Amino acid sequence: MSRKSCVNILLQLGLAVRARSGLSSSPLISGSFAGRILSIEASQIIPDPSDVLKAATRSFSTSQTSFTSNLLKVLKEEIKHEEEGYEKPEEIKSGPPAPFTLQESADGDTLLTLKRKFNGEDIAVDLHVNNQPSHDMGDGENANEDGETLNLVTFNVTVTKGSSSLVFECESDGTYVGIVHLSHEPKDGHSSESSYTGPVFAELDESLQNEMSQYLSDRGVTEELGEYLRHLIYDKEQREYMAWLKKVGDFVQ
């Protein structure tokens, strides 16, 4: 309701009160004079909208400052907790299994690549932090003898020779390397999304599956590499998380 409407209502009520009390018939108090009195009274009762807006703005600004302060406090506590608890896993301190070499992208990019050569072939192992399966830590179904949960790591192995490549989609928990899918592609990848990428690997003859697994093993894609990748991706994710916390803190500060 506008300020003007409120004043009009009060004016009408005031006149009605004065009419009942006999004030409105008095020659000493005319209707216009009474209206001026009520207008003055109304201006004292109803605050100026600009004053209300200023008060609300001050209140919102105070609340916003308090919220930002609390957010920064929580962020700093989380950063401190992560930094104090961070330690590079022993399993990756000495680097990948020879003769693989690790190529890590810049901060903020989740791609990790291991490379080697084998009998004229170029072998590349690619894995992304963002493309890893979620892990249920509660059921203990994938735990080793020490009770450690063996989280799966997923990765691609590309074997390139000449103008084409074999691309293996793999997974490992450090005790095995499983092939999920195998495709034969041009060196630069398929030019069409409708290109045939190969059959369901699990439906291939078992002997063919075993030989493909041996093919990878001969090129160094073994359980040992799987264990290394498992810890490598965990470490990369932890470092990216800490960097993300700092960037968010800098932004809201």
Per domain, the residue ranges of the chain are 3-84, 93-250
Q: How far is it, in rounded angstroms, from Cα 125 to Cα 96?
A: 11
Q: Residue 5 pLDDT more than 80? A: no
Q: How far is it, in rounded angstroms, from Cα 38 to Cα 28?
A: 16
Q: What is the pLDDT of residue 252?
A: 87
> What percentage of the chain reaches a pLDDT higher than 70?
68
Q: Residue 162 pLDDT more than 90? A: yes
Q: What is the pLDDT of residue 89?
A: 94
> What percentage of the chain reaches a pLDDT higher than 90?
57
Task: For domain 93-250, give its CATH number from 3.40.50.2300, 3.30.300.30, 3.10.280.10, 3.40.50.1820.
Answer: 3.10.280.10
The answer, as to whether pTM is greater than 0.75, is: no
Strands 101-104 and 111-118: antiparallel
- Beta carbons of 142 and 151 less than 8 angstroms apart: yes
The Cβ of residue 91 has, within 10 Å, a number of other Cβ atoms equal to: 16
- Beta carbons of 229 and 157 less than 8 angstroms apart: no
Q: Residue 114 pLDDT more than 60? A: yes
Q: How far is it, in rounded angstroms, from Cα 147 to Cα 136?
A: 14
Q: Which of 34-38, 205-209, 247-251 bottoms out in mean pLDDT, i.e. has the lowest? A: 34-38
Complete edge-to-edge strand list for the sheet that includes strand 177-186: 101-104, 111-118, 121-128, 153-161, 164-172, 177-186
Q: How far is it, in rounded angstroms, from Cα 43 to Cα 35?
A: 12
The pLDDT confidence band at residue 47, using thresholds 50, 70 and 90, is low
Q: Residue 178 pLDDT more than 90? A: yes
Q: What is the pLDDT of residue 106?
A: 78
Q: What is the pLDDT of residue 149?
A: 59
